[in-house]
Every structure is written in C-alpha cells, then in structure tokens.
Amino acid sequence: MATPEIHWSGASGQKYGYLSQKLPYSCDVGQNGNYIFAKIVNNAWVPIYIGQGDIDDRVNDPTHYKCSTGKGATHVHVHLTSNEADRITEEQDLLKGHPSAYAPTGCNEKTWG
C-alpha cells in the first residue's frame, strides 16, 4: 500500500496512518489490517465503524457496509497489519479514543457492561 494519507489518534495518543478509499471498495482477499468506515462532518473525518481482519471480507460484509453507509460513511480508511494482536490493540485504542463509533451514532457494538 502507498504512504498513509490520514492519521487517526487512539486514546493512548498513538497515531495510526491510513489510506482513504471511496466506497464501494475492494482489494485482494487475505490482506489483513485495520479499517475505519468514515464520513466528513464540518471538514473533519468522523469514524462510523472501526474494525480489523481481512479487509476485503470485513469492508464488504453486508452488515458492516449497510450500517456504515446508512449512517453516512462515504469512505473506508485502511492499512495493512499482519499481526492479529497488533490489529486488536489498535482497534481497541481507536475505539477508546473515538467512542462516537459505538451505536447509536456509529455501528460498533459495546461488548462489555
């Protein structure tokens, strides 16, 4: 993938570089990484759904895609990360830093009380 265009900050202060792709988007199967469905509000990117896994599979999953585009997502931000533990750590850091990605404003579901 090319040089990151967009940097998202997690709750930890860590910045993660992403490429922005207009929806709909597809890539080769088996490319694992992190992704963020996003829209622009007041000239700033707002996350709708933050996830990780096989990018093509997850971005084109009907549930994630329909929810995200239904809430205004126009782009998906992606970057490759082969290590699953690193992907999960990043996903959780970004979710903690961007709680608006959780329902009802976003599409992520809280898995804790």
Position 68 scores a pLDDT of 97
Confidence of residue 3 (pLDDT cuts 50, 70, 90): low
Q: What is the mean pLDDT of the chain?
A: 94
Question: What is the torsional sign of CA 90, 20, 25, 41?
Answer: positive
For the chain, the structural domain boundaries read 6-101
Q: How confident is the model at residue 93 (pLDDT cuts 50, 70, 90)?
A: very high
Phi/psi at 91 (5° precision): -55, -50
Q: Which CATH number fits domain 6-101: 3.40.1440.10, 3.20.20.70, 3.40.250.10, 3.40.50.1100?
A: 3.40.1440.10
End-to-end alpha carbon distance in the chain: 37
Q: How confident is the model at residue 28 (pLDDT cuts 50, 70, 90)?
A: confident
